[in-house]
Chain A
Amino acid sequence: SAVISQKPSRDICQRGTSLTIQCQVDSQVTMMFWYRQQPGQSLTLIATANQGSEATYESGFVIDKFPISRPNLTFSTLTVSNMSPEDSSIYLCSVLSGARSGANVLTFGAGSRLTVL
């Protein structure tokens, strides 16, 4: 399965600032996903990022707040803009890879834990 390097692993940010999270994959992948997970909670899909097209955002998430770039098949960034304490969360990137026939498997990066003061 793919190996994902995600950074930063954690950061403490000031209200009103923006932070960009980077996700590097060791192989070319078509689809990359960005999730958010608040401590002790489930994973919420933010958007799907395909190379060469605009990201597709889920309900409740907008491009102005979470702009995504996908310049090539191995790299993506998620920016959390104009942060507020409510944005404090773990952000995870993931890619689809097939573990075995018929199974679409998500592989996750280690996550970026953001704390907004």
Chain B
Amino acid sequence: GQSLEQPSEVTAVEGAIVQINCTYQTSGFYGLSWYQQHDGGAPTFLSYNALDGLEETGRFSSFLSRSDSYGYLLLQELQMKDSASYFCAPGNFNKFYFGSGTKLNVKP
């Protein structure tokens, strides 16, 4: 079966750094993806880890530890436009299941 855990809500101020954790249990795990969704919008891809370690894409980084079934998304230099929901999505190569999502509130 599948199980995913991530915090439901996080609040931070502009310019700060925030980390969103994700623990998962999924059969046939292949990689961990992260998606961003603004209110009323569709999810959009942010980052992907197939191997252990850190992947950096601009202000966003994502980390994976396969042995711990754990990953996180790190957002640096927070901006107001980063206020959105963030979903981790472990996949078994051709199928992705989404976590409950973390609502990030960025305050001035």
Contact = CB atoms under 8 A, between A and B. Distances in A.
Interface of A: 31, 33, 35, 41-45, 48, 92, 96, 99, 102-111
Contact of B33 (A31, A42, A105): A105
Interface stretch (B16-24, B63-71, B74-82, B90-98): B90-98
B24 to A, nearest CB: 13
Interface in B52-108: 87, 89, 91, 93-101
Given A45-B96, A45-B97, A104-B91, A109 B48 contact: no
Contacts of B99: 42
Interface of B: 30-31, 33, 35, 41-45, 48, 50, 87, 89, 91, 93-101
Contact of B48 (A43, A92, A104): A104
